[in-house]
Amino acid sequence: MDFFEAQARAKQRTTRLVVLFAFAVVGIILAGYFAAVTVSAQMPARMVRRGFVDYQPPAAQVDLWQPGLFFAITAGTLAVVGLASLYKWNEFSGGGASVAEGVGARRIEPGSANPHERQLLNVVEEMAIAAGLPVPGVYVLDDETGINAFAAGLTTGDAIVCVTRGTLEKLTRDELQGVIGHEFSHVLNGDMRLNLRLTAVLFGILVIGLAGRGIIWSLRNVRFSSRDSKNSGGIVLAIAVAGGLLFVLGYIGYFFGRLIQAAVSRQREFLADASSVQFTRNPGGITGALKKIGGYALGSDVIAHNTAQLNHFFFAQAFRSNFGGAWATHPPLDERIRAIDPKWSGKMFDPPEVVDIEQENFLNAGFAPGQPKGRAPAATDAQAQPAPLPRRLPFHPATLVADAGTLTTEHFRRAQQLLAALPAPLLAAARDPAQAPALVCALILNPDPALRTRQIDLVAQHAGDETVSALTALLSELENLSATASQPSGQPKIQIPNSKICPEARLPLLQLAVPTLRALDPATLDRLLTTLDELVHADAVVTPFEFAMQKVLYRQLGLAREPRVRIDYYAFQGVAQEIAVVLSVLARVGARDESAAAAAFATGAGQLPVIVGKLALLPPAASTLAVLDTALDKLAAAKTIIKQRLLVAAAQTIVADGVITAEEGELYRALAATLDVPMPLPAAG
């Protein structure tokens, strides 16, 4: 699936959704206005005194157009819906973690020894590395025994995956892969942000009904005596009528909003199912999970009411629809299964133990938290049997950008191979908060003995002797990594820099460590970032890898903390200078001389005909890594099509000389990460 096309479709869906909800709000305004006009026409006229007689004038003719009343109702409705939606959206501003923690989910620590949790973490890590995504945070709803899961976040950098305990304990590894593949599809297709917008707007409409219900409820204890004036009774009656109207109008709007939500959600579920099958090449995985949902009594039900607003987030229908299929956010299970397996017999999964949920509760049925049922999965982690790192694969500019955001079997197998080749101590360090900082520092150490000694002294100064001890132990494991440099004939040659640490393993190890680093307290994390900066500048020279590693780390940690992404540049002309910086840096990194750099730059610039006349190779002083850092920050706020064409141009610049250095490849991954574009591991050509 084309990542950029998926993002464009997500934006179109968002636009259509906004239009539909705008119609719903307009409907509420019009209904409220005509209701107010009708009620006001029925209200008795105020008594007047004529001489010694109280006189009630005849009702005036109803005027259907009352501008003052119309604008008052319009302003009030928009204010309530807008402010309530902004309030809910602000709750989500913390990204995926705030959504998961808001419904009571528990974060699974990267170093968890629980076999079920370890299996889930392995599956998520494999998929993230295969797709080139930052490894998402992983959460579990401990008290939910149904089979379900959801993904949430504002960007790929703050995304999380959350599963129920039933998903952990009842699914096989293949079935778990199918479910997680489905959720990764939502991450890559831009569905997460759309889901959050849906929730915020629906809450804004619902608040109108809740306000009306609150008004009515507040009048439940009002009593009148004979001394109460008629005017007081009339005021209370007017308030009650207004509350009733708000209640009815709000819930009518909410009803139609839920219909829109359900229609949008159902179609996306079929797409996510198909993407999961395409990724895992195992239709039995996701269909097995769906059959188990159909076979178990609890199915995919979620019990906690605070998750009801996330119904459209989930893998399967989490709550029973009050209006049959009209409010169902997911297609029926049999339709989803047959869409994948047209020859399915119709038979669901037969549970090994039948539980009568009407007679037995979760505790005596053995489903209470802390009482896992069934056999725990065997410890079949990839690191159990280290293997050689896989052969280096070609860098195809034509397919590299097209592969962005894709989930394919080739990428998945590639990630599994790479993880299988990493020694267990390195994987354990990436998942351990006490060792992850040492691992990141070790990745950046210089191969020169004298400089390395100075860098280790800096680590001791900033992070302490314990970090140095852990770093020293990890260095031997890192230096033992090896990778063959064989390359298929006819492909650009890959050059390996003079480094004792295998360059192919560096960024994947960093990806694995990022979720662990996110969990560090701010003081520890700031100390680590300061240490890294000292290590990078220890020799007064910043290498492309050092720059790439820092940029990836800062970007992924930054998106997790501040996931809001603004689009400030919609035209290529607005970022032409920054594009020239990127292409100039990439042209000079692998160039033998000035003429080779000029040729590489021209190759890349030729991919941007709209601004090719404004692009020129910058002199060395204007195309440093420090200048690139500023340029990338600005390009991160550019429109998606600009990012897509820039990545194509950058790839063509790199391969123009037929040679790809490891540093060029790492700079390219840093570029993609800064632009928030998931770049998968290269697949075999």
Give yes or no for residue 394 having a pLDDT over 70: no
666 with 589, same domain: the answer is yes
* Mean per-residue pLDDT, 207-212: 76
Instruction: Please report the pLDDT score of residue 397 as a whole number.
Output: 59
Helix, strand, or coil here: 54?
Answer: strand
Which residue, of 525, 544, 563, is where some domain finishes? Answer: 544
Confidence at 384, pLDDT banded by 50, 70, 90: very low
Strands (E), 452-500: 493-495
pLDDT in tens, 351-363: 775 554 444 444 4
pLDDT recorded at residue 359: 43
Task: State both tokens at 422.
Answer: 């990493």
How far apart are the C-alpha atoms of 510 and 517, rounded to whole Å? 10
Angle at 315 between CA 311 and CA 316, to 5 degrees: 70
Confidence class for position 33, pLDDT limits 50, 70, 90 = confident
Looking at residue 682, what is its pLDDT? 56
In a domain, 217, yes or no: no
In the prediction, which pLDDT does 51 show?
A: 54
Structure-block tokens of residue 247: 């209640």
Tokens of 250: 């709000």
Among 555, 552, 503, which residue's Cα sits nearest to residue 664?
A: 503
**One-letter amino acid of 193:** R
The conformation of residue 572, written as its DSSP 8-state character, comes to G
Residue 618: per-residue pLDDT: 94
pLDDT in the model for residue 72: 86
pLDDT at 519: 81
Inform me whether the pLDDT recorded for 238 exceeds 80.
no
Mean pLDDT across the chain, nearest whole number?
77
* Phi-psi category of residue 676: left, alpha or beta, with phi > 0 → left and psi -120 to 50 → alpha: left
Using the predicted structure, report yes or no on whether residue 626 has a pLDDT greater than 60: yes
pLDDT of residue 223: 59
The pLDDT value recorded for residue 495 is 44
Among the listed residues 631, 685, 682, 613, the one whose alpha carbon sits nearest the alpha carbon of residue 131: 682
3-state secondary structure of 351: coil
The answer to whether 92 and 196 are in contact (CB under 8 A) is: yes
Specify the pLDDT at position 327. Answer: 66
**End residue of a domain, out of 544, 559, 582:** 544
What average pLDDT does range 456-485 have in this prediction? Answer: 80
**How many domains is the chain partitioned into structurally?**
2
Inter-residue contact 188 to 405 (CB < 8 Å): yes
Does the pLDDT value for residue 374 go beyond 80?
no
> Residue 314's beta-bridge partner residues?
150
Same domain, 481 and 600: no
**Do residues 608 and 491 share a domain?**
no
Instruction: Classify burial at 211, counting beta carbons within 10 Å of its beta carbon; exposed 0-12, middle 13-18, buried 19 or more.
Output: middle
| Residue 480 covered by a domain | yes
Exposed/middle/buried for 27, CB within 10 Å: 0-12, 13-18, 19+? middle
What's residue 289's pLDDT? Answer: 94
Same domain, residue pair 517 and 582: no
Residue 153 has pLDDT above 70, yes or no: yes
Looking at residue 26, its pLDDT comes to 83
The model scores a pTM over 0.85: no
pLDDT of residue 265: 73
Residues 527 and 601 reside in one and the same domain: no
In this structure, the answer to whether residues 445 and 534 fall within a common structural domain is yes
Same domain as 527, residue 432: yes
On whether both 516 and 622 belong to a single domain, the answer is: no
Could you tell me if residue 368 is left (phi over 0), alpha (psi between -120 and 50 degrees) or otherwise beta?
beta
Q: Which of 546, 538, 569, 679 is nearest to 631 (CA)?
A: 569
**Averaged over 447-457, what is the pLDDT?**
88
Q: Is residue 482 part of a domain?
A: yes
pLDDT at 605: 94
pLDDT > 70 fraction of the chain, expressed in percent and rounded: 74
The angle subtended at Cα 120 by Cα 123 and Cα 434, nearest 5°, is 100
Q: Between 119 and 371, whose confidence is greater?
A: 119
Tell me, yes or no, whether 539 and 615 share the same domain: no
Instruction: Characterise 314 by phi-psi region: left (phi > 0), alpha (psi -120 to 50), beta (else).
Output: beta
Confidence category of residue 229, pLDDT binned at 50, 70, 90:
low
Place of tokens 């009904």: 209
Catalytic residue among 183, 477, 504, 664: 183
Helix axes 333-340 and 283-295, enclosed angle (nearest 10): 160
Do both 537 and 635 map to the same domain? no
For residue 471, give its domain range. Answer: 417-544
Residue 220 confidence (pLDDT): 62
Token pair 């989490």: residue: 318
The predicted structure's pLDDT at residue 362: 41
pLDDT at 163 over 90: yes
Closest CA to 442 of 356, 510, 378: 510
Burial class (CB in 10 A: 0-12, 13-18, 19+), 675: buried
More confident residue, 282 or 48: 282
* 537 and 640, same domain (yes or no): no
Domain assignment of residue 366, yes or no? no
pLDDT at residue 494, as a whole number = 40
Question: Within a domain: residue 622?
Answer: yes
Chain segment 64-108, per-residue pLDDT in tens: 788 888 888 888 888 888 888 888 888 887 888 889 988 889 999
Tell whether the model's pLDDT for residue 386 goes beyond 50.
no
Angle (nearest 5°) at CA 335 between 334 and 336: 90
Question: For residue 630, is it within any domain?
Answer: yes
Whether 663 is in a domain gets the answer: yes
Residue 272 lies in a domain: no
Residue 304 pLDDT greater than 80, yes or no? no
Average the pLDDT over each of 184-193, 346-355, 592-601, 663-672 and give the range with the smallest value: 346-355
The answer on 536 and 452 residing in a single domain is yes
Q: Are 276 and 339 in contact (CB under 8 A)?
A: no
pLDDT over 80 at 412, yes or no: no
Catalytic site includes residue 183: yes
